[in-house]
Amino acid sequence: MIHTIILVFVSAILAVAQQRGPGKSGDDQTPVDPTQYVGTETCKGCHEETGTSFAKNPHARTQAKHQGPQWQGCEACHGPGKSHAEAGDPANIIRFEQLSPAEISKTCLRCHDLSADKSPGRLLHSQHASNDVGCLECHSQHSSVGPHLLKLEQAELCASCHSSRRKSNPASPRK
């Protein structure tokens, strides 16, 4: 009887660990199954261009407070890659083009804690989030042309949504 209870308990923990992906938990306490993670080198086998440029990206360096395979390289954002690598099925990995801006931002905020941010950018980020503008609408997680992994130079990026001619409220998006 006790063996059955232990088996059910361990099975439940492993099931949760296998389902865990970015955005589902923001803590280091969630149990994960390390055998479900394959590492960035495996990802580079098929995604060579992205994998090669990723080494120069700040996201290639894990923050000291985050330890474990769920915080490393590609799988820190895209989730455990074993099933995807073995089957080659895009449905077996987190793909940002299929997520809402809020879901994408939730994934980013697992590491990027804006609540502790004292910079002027904090207000800008909160205004964007309240208008359903996600992180990847301005930032590129794999490559960028400017600082802070911006997709475009800041002035050009802002002008793509905000008219520079609106003197009364320059933060209002263009219609």
pLDDT confidence bin for 35, thresholds 50/70/90: very high
| Cβ pair 104, 135 in contact under 8 A | yes
Q: Are residues 61 and 109 in the same domain?
A: no
Question: What pLDDT is recorded for position 17?
Answer: 38
Q: Which domain holds residue 62?
A: 37-94
Mean pLDDT of the chain: 76
Question: In this predicted model, what pLDDT tens digit does every residue of 120-153 receive, in sequence order?
Answer: 666 667 788 788 888 988 998 887 767 888 888 8
Q: Does some domain include residue 170? A: no
Q: Are 161 and 128 in contact (CB under 8 A)?
A: no
Same domain, 64 and 81: yes
- The answer to whether residues 112 and 83 belong to one domain is no
- Answer for the pair 22, 66: CB distance below 8 angstroms, yes or no: no
